[in-house]
Amino acid sequence: MGRCARGGIRRTARGRRHDEARGEMERANLRGGGMIAATCTNAVGSRAYKLFVPSGYAGQPVPLVVMLHGCTQTPDDFAAGTRMNAFAERETFLVAYPAQARAANGRHCWNWFDPAHQHRDAGEPSLIAALTRQLMASYAVDPRQVYVAGMSAGGAMAAIVAATYPDLYAAAAVHSGLPYGAARDLRSAFAAMRARPAGRATTASPAAPVELCGPRIPLIVFHGASDITVTRTNADLLAAQWTASVGPESLAQAEVSQGRSAAGRLWTRTRYAGATGRTLVEKWIVDRMGHAWSGGSRAGTFADPAGPDASAELLRFFAECMQTNGFRP
């Protein structure tokens, strides 16, 4: 299940092999940049995806960011709301947007709450990893700069992928998501999404998040303080999960800072560093923001332009992980 078949590109009328056709599509996009539509298939199944190739890409090693959309969203919608393609064009990196199939989930949600999709080399995590590896084989991707990010259900799946494939991704971003293993079925999924701070009663108890036993990759978390779809407690639980039992590197300190976005939205950032000083988790809580991508564009759904720019911050975090923390040899 490690790699996906190169689906989604048909033979031409002259019968050229699909590798040649794929190369032609890639060269066409090198001239002006743009989105490529393709499909990844492995033993689990198939998923369509969009890939943004910036005009500045000419075969040189570049980073890759894999973006997992939320429920009811599409790759194009998610790209518009996060404005990630504009950043990729400016800074020259590839962006992949896997699309959840309606046949897999009627609301296009990634199935983060299903145990069949919570493990390495199984279910949707294996498809996302296979798609990532295929792009790394097809393009000049710097293997030290491969990242996964997501929002809501996509954020919960990004946490799963980050936890189960720490050897493939250098860092991860979870926006309005949930901890790894926070649910085991739909009932516990809704309970986890409604999680309240300690001392506040709920009608159902979420599943206890899975304790992470393996290595951690750096994680940045964004969440709206007024999110009633996935409550902000999930951001706290995710940060706690990621920083617990970090192995030989014990947690040294938590640094808290506050500020306001250009639109006046208050934010609180907490950085959790290990004993060596490297950042393990960075958590942002945005005041008066609901279930939306912070600093996003109204051109997409579930985006709040008033917040601090989550896209810019996660890219800054990824770059810092590469340049200063040395998580890759």
Mean pLDDT by 10 residues, the chain (329 residues): 49 35 40 83 93 96 98 97 97 97 96 97 96 96 97 98 97 98 95 70 50 81 98 96 68 85 97 84 97 97 98 97 55
CA–CA dist 248, 163 (Å, integer): 18
Scanning the structure block, which residue is given the tokens 């400016």? 90
Question: In terms of Cα–Cα distance, which of 272, 162, 304, 284 is closest to 223?
Answer: 284
For residue 203, what is the DSSP state? S
pLDDT at site 12: 31
**279-286 and 171-175 beta bridge pairing:** unpaired
Q: How far apart are CA 276 and CA 309, in angstroms?
A: 29
What pLDDT score does 322 carry? 80
pLDDT at 19: 42
Q: Which two tokens stand for residue 106?
A: 């009627």
Q: pTM of the predicted model, to two decimals?
A: 0.87
The three-state (H, E, C) secondary structure of 81-143, written as one string: HHCHHHHHHHHCCEEEEECCCCCCCCCCCCCCCCHHHCCCCCHHHHHHHHHHHHHHHHCCEEE
Confidence at residue 87, expressed as pLDDT on a 0 to 100 scale: 97
Residue 158 burial (C-beta neighbours within 10 Å; 0-12, 13-18, 19+): buried
Residue 193 pLDDT: 97
Looking at residue 17, what is its pLDDT?
A: 36
Question: With contact defined as beta carbons under 8 Å apart, do 5 and 41 qualify?
Answer: yes
Return the pLDDT at 323: 72
Non-local CB neighbours of 96 within 8 Å, separated by 6+ positions: 49, 50, 51, 52, 64, 65, 66, 67, 131, 132, 135
Q: How far is CA 245 from CA 95, 179, 211, 214, in A?
A: 32, 15, 9, 10
How would you classify residue 45: left for phi > 0, otherwise alpha for psi between -120 and 50, otherwise beta?
Answer: left
pLDDT of residue 212: 73
Q: What is the pLDDT of residue 31?
A: 45
Integer distance in angstroms from the first to the last C-alpha of the chain? 26
